[in-house]
Amino acid sequence: MKQFVTLVSLSFLVVFSSLFAHTSSAEAAVNPGLLIAEAKKLIGTPYRYGGTTPKGFDCSGFVYYTHKKVGKILPRSSKQMYQKGKAVHKSNLRPGDLVFFNTSKTKKGVSHVAIYIGNNRIIHAVSKGVKIDSLSNSYWKSKYVGAKRL
């Protein structure tokens, strides 16, 4: 009986303390399958500069929105997103990793972000709206900066 009471007490403590454990959504792990499913629901959504809703997205607004839908809060801009996570070599990309590009002709650094979905493909918001592209596409291949795993 004493062991049972001890076990119940420990179980209660674990459950009770987990209610108050603080893990910010910025630190929470993301399920890549859920993230990609949310992203794919938005294919065809129009591009809108500064857009962060299904009425229209810019690239970082799309990434911000899809992550928020699965419980992870990211910074709002691609440059700020690039400061997060762990660098990943292109050959080691996994679904859910963020992929960064420089599409600016005049500025250095990062200006575009996409979500890697596997099989050398990314999903992102571009001028034609939310779509899937290949990393082998000559345009994206030449603009590639790096990738991060959150």
56-57 vs 121-126, strand pairing mode: unpaired
- The domains located in the chain, with CATH, are 2-149 (3.90.1720.10)
- 125 DSSP 8-state letter: E
**Confidence grade of residue 107 (pLDDT, cut at 50, 70, 90):** confident
pLDDT value at 28 more than 60 = no
Computed over every residue of the chain, the mean pLDDT equals 86
User: Does 19 score more than 70 pLDDT?
Assistant: no
Check residue 112 and give its pLDDT.
97
59 classed as catalytic: yes
Mean pLDDT value across residues 108-126: 97
**Mean pLDDT within 23-47:** 83
Q: What is the pLDDT of residue 106?
A: 83
Cα 35 → chain centroid: 7
132, containing H or E segment? strand 129-134
Which tokens go with 24?
Answer: 């910010």
Q: Is the pLDDT of residue 21 over 70?
A: no
State yes or no: is 67 an active-site residue: no
Q: Which region holds residue 16: left if phi is over 0, alpha if psi is between -120 and 50, else beta?
A: alpha
For range 23-34, the mean pLDDT: 68
> Where is 109: in which H helix or E strand?
none
Place of tokens 């997060």: 84
DSSP 53-104: ETTEE-HHHHHHHHHHHTT----SSHHHHHTSSEEE-GGG--TT-EEEE---
pTM equals 0.81
